[in-house]
Structure 1
């Protein structure tokens, strides 16, 4: 023990930037961007590579999980850092013991993020687990409703859409269908998968009505085939990984009516769209429809679900019966403290409204590019969730590489 290098026991847990990729490659699959983020020098909308000192204008934001950029001054105050360090000193089991920091986070989340229509909250680590627990709420609710009607069983299917991404474990893997690499050879449930009537911009109203009617017919057929079996309809209000696919509000409103008529939950997966990205705190708030359950994550740091009181059709639902949904940590206390500060800053600085205004300007510039370059089509967006199409994946990937070379961090999808 005395002969061990002192560096093995340094409290400064870091290594030289030049060593990072080789250490990781010796131990894990390194298939991400070959840079090392300098967490100290990155600032605002700029991500700095510690290897070369190069700055990137960040339109990537860690797959839409970084809500206010890097090193915001209000994240670097002494009192906030003291709170963060206090929360990081141990990892309490938030499901069983409670702290002042946990209480403060929930209070701030309720004040700035959770609409009043959603009295029930549940927190967990990971967006996929947020979706999984949303499904469990629906399974439990539907199975108990069936039992109350004298029907044992059913309530064990989730209706979902083509080109959806809801995660890659457990139940969620049976919903995700954005590419075989994510799900091939893993066991899955055979649940109803519906054609997605995604919009192409500028929108042709007649084409959309026809496409939406076809999807609705598929949905009705699925319910007719198994009237008591479908517990929920799940949809991303904008399908992110599947191609930044937008749906008309009229279609999402039809889903609401079908869910009510067929006694199924309507779940919106807002893991990517939530917390201001689309120009409202939640994308559904622009669409004239309120889902029964919202799954959230990414920019919220700690993930989870919020539910309306429709679940109270059953008194013994998962929000009233212990251990039906749970996890050891119920999220992560450090993430909660960070999230609480993010939400305060977002509210104080009007960043949701700014996303709407900035997104409108950005969209206008993309439309101008579309006018000048025939290769660019289908420019679309809500707030700062913006996209355009190129003729094929090869050209898309080539442009993405050119962007990174020029110092613009961006992503492809679809």
Structure 2
């Protein structure tokens, strides 16, 4: 066993099924292990490393910020938090931003914001409608609205007042609405649950239902957001707007940062000083990453590039369906896609590792492709060739 693996196994709580590889450095869309082996990265740290590795513009901004200041209390203003918030407002088309450390923490804040909104409005509402096959994080609130029994059952009783509707089935959602329903939470493109894309009818139907019933609509864009689907955020392609949105992962290009965003209406009747906080959220280093990431995305039109590369990726994946009996379906859009397979997912991902390809599973029978958003056609071609050897 590699000494780095041995040290990790002896020191850390075993909560991850880790691949037998020790990564040391990255360059572009490739990662290298301690033995010098090169890996084409189509996992991007679970859709985090949006700009790949070694982006000099991003690295320069982070190094400069480290030399100035990388933590203060939120009791004080800092020079970059407001800039980062304005950047997220600009790309998200939302009105108010709260910075967190992760996507799961962003979801916790979003749920609290929704309940506080109902409290201040005096509606007495507190229930949530979530989706089957959804995933929203690991905290108690986030697990409570996650639509997988295996995630919830060991930690019950969880947050009360949560029911689960069928994804892309508006009647299923409507049937669960009561006079206590506070909000509907959904991912426009489910990731962990198996790469399920919301239909336009479903997204617009949820928005209309929420407006009619006085319910908030929460979009979880932690994984599918920030350019990955070809729009800066996935909901934007549907012509709808949520009341609350969560984001993380790609907004910091690898620096741990998340956020939830609210409309002005929700912000005005929601969280107040003392209701919610975080020691590290909005720290200068994370905010420098957000500001520079947003700047690069806009300047280099990363979302449009992801859309074009996503179309090419889909064409190549469709060819696998025609060529291999074990590949039955292509799902997703942009650079968040998957193939449904009849072979064990773990067998495919482990074999791909040996071929120098990093891919991950989604759900029980889907291989997920969430590469850095800066990949080119040549990288997609390389990935397909490596995957064919495995299949």
* TM-score (norm: length of structure 2): 0.85
Residue 48 (structure 1) aligns with: 32
Residue 109 (structure 1) aligns with: 88
Per-residue Cα deviation, 1:357-394 (whole angstroms, up to 9, x for no partner): 111111111111111222212212211111110125x2
**Cα distance change of structure 1 residues 76 and 142 upon mapping to structure 2, 3 Å threshold:** closer
Residue 260 (structure 2) aligns with: 305
More strand by share: 2
Question: 87, 91, 103: which one pairs with 1:127?
Answer: 103
Correspondence list, 1:249-264, <5 A: 249-264=200-215
Tell me how far 1:284 sits from its aligned partner: 0.6
**Cα distance change of structure 1 residues 177 and 96 upon mapping to structure 2, 3 Å threshold:** same
Q: Secondary structure, in 3 states, of the residue corresponding to 2:5?
A: helix
CA distance in 2, matches of 1:182, 1:231: 21
CA distance in 1, matches of 2:49, 2:213: 38
Q: Is the 8 A contact 1:269 1:294 kept in 2?
A: yes
Correspondence list, 1:276-295, <5 A: 276-295=227-246
Question: 136, 149, 166: which one pairs with 1:166?
Answer: 136
CA distance in 1, matches of 2:309, 2:298: 16
CA distance in 2, matches of 1:120, 1:366: 39
Per-residue Cα deviation, 1:130-175 (whole angstroms, up to 9, x for no partner): 011111111111223235xxxxxx3211100111101121211111
Q: Is the 8 A contact 1:174 1:190 kept in 2?
A: no
CA distance in 2, matches of 1:353, 1:338: 21
Residue 45 (structure 2) aligns with: 62
CA distance in 2, matches of 1:378, 1:288: 27
RMSD of aligned residue pairs (Cα, Å):
2.0
**Cα distance change of structure 1 residues 322 and 261 upon mapping to structure 2, 3 Å threshold:** same
Structure 2: which 5+ runs fail to align? 364-391
Count of residue correspondences: 356
Q: Is the aligned partner of 1:219 residue 2:189?
A: no
**Cα distance change of structure 1 residues 390 and 300 upon mapping to structure 2, 3 Å threshold:** same
Residue 238 (structure 1) aligns with: 189
Correspondence list, 1:144-163, <5 A: 144-147=120-123, 154-163=124-133
Tell me how far 1:248 sits from its aligned partner: 0.7
CA distance in 1, matches of 2:295, 2:244: 24
Tell me how far 1:32 sits from its aligned partner: 1.9
CA distance in 1, matches of 2:264, 2:82: 22
Residue 10 (structure 2) aligns with: 26
Tell me how far 1:327 sits from its aligned partner: 1.9
* TM-score (norm: length of structure 1): 0.81
Q: Which has the larger radius of gyration?
A: 1
Residue 69 (structure 2) aligns with: 87
Q: Is the 8 A contact 2:88 2:97 kept in 1?
A: no
